[in-house]
């Protein structure tokens, strides 16, 4: 009996040794480390290991919080440092050392990992780098490869950026079978990206499947036309009863037409404004606990005319707005400053301010990156009309991926040719040097408030009688002083040809840009 146990023990030992070698830990022919575990102080600091290799090597899978130096090397012995800034809680990772098909795993640990159980509100208010465990309902799934989705527990909503599978692997989110309405407990470190609070690469602790789900919709795309109509939702409900929650901000245009068992029909009113959307919540219970399901509903709307100042003050959303203004500040290609950026990034100016357009499409639903500005012959000073939604980036308002509607091309002309024109309403652009600024008749140290001056080029000079900030801007604002324009500066203005006592002039020209004299 004893011999039998000894033989089994030897077999087990051999199995362990083979398993260690197969995993690539510590010793591989031609690739060695003096330690496959690295500890970094919680308060921040570094630690080193020695890499011995017969060929060139590389360390990969390095997270943002960890610095590895050097991360690659050649044959021989190399001291590698692992460094990290101070952390609120412990954290750990595994990096991969590879050389000629061989892989050595190196475990890096900083401090002792402490998981804090928290509500979504506490996560949102808490510090970055801290690891949280939170329980809530899945309210929306964004990416089914990495597992990006929203979790809401009633106190707030947190964005989950990456979900590990049961073996700790990425890109296997579908293995969980997670659906909107399911209750889930996850834990992971908090970070903030462009103002959005995220829990990154979370570990799933528990899933409690919802007793209620949306089975069918009519219409299937959950989108109603401008004129409104009926929207029907059929539920798969294993709970007791159905309760419907319509958000307060949608109650003036969305109501329940009928509720028959697990079929709910909504009445959607005609939409006289911009695009709108809402999320309907369906609830049931098993007598002990409440379960929910959600369904988004959108309705097309009219395109709302708007000015730049009002546009910038809007909340972000999907509603479409029509904006008309003067093109300024076109972003050029970073690799070729003589060409426009192919996405079409620029400002549209009107009398209320300027709006940044981030991306211009050739038409509604068109593809981005087509250099529409060049294709349409649009240049600074032209008058352009676009349609798009209100968005933001780093807190700054923008119209993202607007689509082209129409534009009025402004003709570039010399001073001499402009003076020779007949009076009319057509618009012309002149670039030249500022001279002969008219001063205030009551205070010779100040400019005339209307902005009267000459703009000169190599062919002659044009008298500008009044400078306004945009196409339909108000005069009398002393724009020259506000913009810091001085004699000798180079200025670009746009306006029509007119005359006063047979003397040619550009009356109420609108400002495009200027460059200070060197």
The verdict on whether omega for the bond into residue 70 sits within 30 degrees of 0, i.e. cis, is yes
pLDDT beneath 70, residues of the chain: 1-27, 113, 471-472
Q: Which of 172, 191, 208 is the last residue of a domain?
A: 208
Q: Give just the sign of the alpha carbon dihedral 7, 10, 12, 15.
A: negative
* CA angle (294 as vertex; 167, 134 as ends), nearest 5: 45
Q: How far apart are the first and last CA of the chain?
A: 99
DSSP class of 344: -
* Same domain assignment for residues 80 and 137: no
Instruction: Let me know if residue 5 belongs to a domain.
Output: no
Query: How many residues belong to the chain?
Result: 518
For residue 392, count other CB atoms closer than 10 A to its CB: 15
pLDDT digits (tens, 9 = 90+) for 42-83: 899 999 999 999 999 999 999 888 999 999 999 999 999 999
Q: Which of 177, 208, 239 is the last residue of a domain?
A: 208
Q: Which of 282, 299, 316 is the last residue of a domain?
A: 299
- How high is the pLDDT of residue 195? 86
Domain span at residue 290? 212-299
For residue 2, the surrounding DSSP H or E stretch is helix 2-23
For residue 160, the surrounding DSSP H or E stretch is strand 157-163
Q: H/E/C letters for each residue in 104-121?
A: EEEEEEECCCCEEECCHH
249 Rama sector, left if φ>0, alpha if ψ -120 to 50, beta otherwise: alpha
Beta strands in 238-316 (DSSP E): 243-245, 254-260, 263-268, 276-285, 290-299, 304-305
CATH of the domain at 281: 2.60.40
For residue 396, count other CB atoms closer than 10 A to its CB: 10
Instruction: Let me know if residue 16 belongs to a domain.
Output: no
- How high is the pLDDT of residue 128? 82
CATH of the domain at 100: 2.60.40.10
* d(C-alpha 437, C-alpha 187), whole Å: 67
Beta bridge partner(s), residue 296: 279
Token pair, residue 128, equals 């970055």
For residue 346, count other CB atoms closer than 10 A to its CB: 24
Q: How many domains does the chain have?
A: 5
CATH of the domain at 312: 2.40.50.140
* Same domain assignment for residues 258 and 175: no
* Same domain assignment for residues 317 and 404: yes
427 to each of 77, 311, 450, 461, 468, how far by Cα in Å? 72, 26, 20, 17, 14
Token pair, residue 247, equals 């958000």
For residue 470, count other CB atoms closer than 10 A to its CB: 23
Instruction: Let me know if residue 359 belongs to a domain.
Output: yes
């Amino acid at each position: 009996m004893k011999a039998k146990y000894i033989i089994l023990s030897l077999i087990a030992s051999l199995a362990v040794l083979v398993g260690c070698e197969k995993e690539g830990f510590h010793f591989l022919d031609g690739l060695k480390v003096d330690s496959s575990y690295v500890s970094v102080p919680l308060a921040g600091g570094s630690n080193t290991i020695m890499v011995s290799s017969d060929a060139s090597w590389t360390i990969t899978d390095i997270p943002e919080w960890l610095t590895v130096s050097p991360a690659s090397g050649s044959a021989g012995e190399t001291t590698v440092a692992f460094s990290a800034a101070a952390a609120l809680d412990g954290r750990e990772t595994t990096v991969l050392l590879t050389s000629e098909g061989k892989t050595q795993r190196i475990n890096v640990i900083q401090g002792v990992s402490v998981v804090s159980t928290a509500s979504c509100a506490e996560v949102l208010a808490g510090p970055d780098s801290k690891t949280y465990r939170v329980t809530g309902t899945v309210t929306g799934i964004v990416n089914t490869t990495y597992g990006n989705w929203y979790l809401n527990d009633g106190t707030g909503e947190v964005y989950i950026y990456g979900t590990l599978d049961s073996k700790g692997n990425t890109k296997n989110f579908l293995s969980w079978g997670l659906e909107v309405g399911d209750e889930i407990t996850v834990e992971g470190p908090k970070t903030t990206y462009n103002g959005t609070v995220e829990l990154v690469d979370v570990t799933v602790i528990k899933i409690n499947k919802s007793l209620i789900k949306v089975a069918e919709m009519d219409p299937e795309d959950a989108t109603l036309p401008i004129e409104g109509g009926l929207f029907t939702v059929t539920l798969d409900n294993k709970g007791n009863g159905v309760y419907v929650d319509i958000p307060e901000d949608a109650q003036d245009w969305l109501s329940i037409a009928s509720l028959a068992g697990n079929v709910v029909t909504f009445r959607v009113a005609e939409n006289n404004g911009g695009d709108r959307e809402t999320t309907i919540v369906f609830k049931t219970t098993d007598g002990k606990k409440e379960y929910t399901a959600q369904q988004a509903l959108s309705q097309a709307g009219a395109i709302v005319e708007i000015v730049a100042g009002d546009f910038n003050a809007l909340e972000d959303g999907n509603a479409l707005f029509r904006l008309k203004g003067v093109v300024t500040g076109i972003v050029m290609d970073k690799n070729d400053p003589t060409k426009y950026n192919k996405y079409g990034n620029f400002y549209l100016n009107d009398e209320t301010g300027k709006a940044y357009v981030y991306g211009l499409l050739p038409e509604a639903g068109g593809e981005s990156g087509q250099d529409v500005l060049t294709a349409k012959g649009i240049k600074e000073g032209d008058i352009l009309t676009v349609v798009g939604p209100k968005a933001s980036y780093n807190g700054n308002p923008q119209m993202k991926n607007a689509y082209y509607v129409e534009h009025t091309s402004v003709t570039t002309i010399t001073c001499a040719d402009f003076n020779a024109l007949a009076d009319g309403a057509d618009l012309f652009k002149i670039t030249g040097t500022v001279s002969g600024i008219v001063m205030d008749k009551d205070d010779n140290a100040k400019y005339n408030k209307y902005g009267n001056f000459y703009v000169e080029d190599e062919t002659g000079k044009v008298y500008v009688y009044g400078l306004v900030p945009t196409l339909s801007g108000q005069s009398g604002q002393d724009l020259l002083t506000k913009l810091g324009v001085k004699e000798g500066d180079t200025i670009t203005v746009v306006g029509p040809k007119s005359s006063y006592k047979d003397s040619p002039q550009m009356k109420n020209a609108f400002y495009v840009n200027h460059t200070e004299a060197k």
